[in-house]
């Protein structure tokens, strides 16, 4: 069962400048940064709030590290802005299977490792009214520190 909005992914051309905008404008601070070589992105997670299920909600700022990455291609076509929405779940495998059974295409056969050690998969935007949708099972709390 989906329990919360885990994060909203925002594609940007310059991660440092975008982080500074969100810090200066809204007071959001960076909770975590990493480079995901498999996905070809450098990212910053800005924590917005804690949630009742023990997780949190974030803005995920994504700068492509190469033009041929999914985010790089998307950015070239669409420009900066909202790239995807991610819903938190305790069971990414089970929820992905249940959603697939309803006719929605799941983009990964098996969940992959995402930000902060989470397990993730994506749903095809054409099956989700034009919205690239991610399902996320957070890593245990002791693994999510900066």
What contacts 91, CB < 8 A, 6 or more positions away?
137
The catalytic residue among 7, 39, 63, 83 is: 7
CA pair distance 98, 87, nearest whole angstrom: 14
The catalytic residue among 37, 83, 134, 142 is: 134
- How far lies 110's CA from each of 54, 127, 129, 135, in Å? 25, 19, 23, 12
Q: Is 50 a catalytic residue?
A: no
CA pair distance 77, 96, nearest whole angstrom: 28
Question: Are 26 and 50 spatial neighbours (Cβ–Cβ below 8 Å)?
Answer: no
Q: Is 7 a catalytic residue?
A: yes
The catalytic residue among 39, 60, 63, 83 is: 60
Q: Is 43 a catalytic residue?
A: yes
The catalytic residue among 39, 43, 63, 83 is: 43
Residue 85's CB: how many other CB atoms inside 10 A? Answer: 15
The catalytic residue among 39, 63, 83, 84 is: 84
Query: Coil, helix or strand for 134?
Result: strand
Q: Is 63 a catalytic residue?
A: no
Q: Is 60 a catalytic residue?
A: yes
Output the CA torsion 50→56→58→62 (10° steps): 150
Task: List the catalytic residues.
Answer: 7, 43, 60, 84, 134
């Amino acid at each position: 069962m989906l329990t919360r909005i885990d994060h909203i992914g925002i594609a940007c051309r310059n991660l440092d400048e975008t982080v500074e905008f969100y810090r200066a404008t809204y007071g959001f601070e960076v909770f975590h940064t990493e480079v995901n070589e498999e996905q070809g992105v450098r990212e910053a997670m800005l924590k917005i709030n804690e949630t009742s299920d023990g997780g949190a909600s974030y803005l995920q700022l994504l700068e492509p590290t190469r033009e041929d990455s999914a985010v790089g291609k998307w950015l070239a076509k669409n420009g900066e802005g909202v790239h995807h929405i991610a819903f938190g779940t305790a069971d990414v495998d089970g929820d992905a299977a249940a959603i697939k059974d309803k006719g929605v295409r799941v983009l990964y056969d098996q969940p992959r490792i995402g930000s902060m050690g989470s397990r993730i998969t994506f749903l095809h935007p054409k099956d989700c009214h034009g919205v690239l949708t991610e399902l996320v099972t957070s890593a245990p709390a002791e693994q999510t520190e900066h």
